[in-house]
Amino acid sequence: MDKKINPQKIKWTRGMALISFCLVVLAILIDNIKEPLFGLKAGDETQNFSLNLFITGFSMLLSFILSLFVFIRVVKYWKLWPNQRVKFIILGLALPAIILYIMLLFVIFSI
């Protein structure tokens, strides 16, 4: 019996991986250009905290959850995946969010 993964699942997995990667890039970009974008200076701790909590933190959490779903789905259907190259590209798009979020957790809990 030849099982195959549903092409719709591949499409959703690819979409979730791409959204996760774009959220990571967007969060890093906003964090690096927050002074010209929002006018926040280095001494504005309350505004920086609010920006990090509501924009950067939320987008990183969402991208981490999406990346976990992608990683679990790819590992679950590892043998059934039709194209190895697409599988590794999808994992490559999902892994930066997982690695970055784990690094952020280490930084937070090491203080």
Q: How many whole angstroms separate alpha carbon 101 and alpha carbon 61?
A: 8
User: Looking at residue 102, what is its pLDDT?
Assistant: 87
Question: SS3 of 107, please?
Answer: helix
User: Looking at residue 1, what is its pLDDT?
Assistant: 47
* Domain positions in the chain: 7-109
> Each residue's pLDDT tens digit in the chain (111 positions)?
457 777 788 889 999 999 999 999 998 888 888 778 777 776 777 777 777 788 888 888 899 999 999 999 999 888 888 788 888 999 999 999 999 888 888 888 887
pTM of the complete model beyond 0.75:
yes
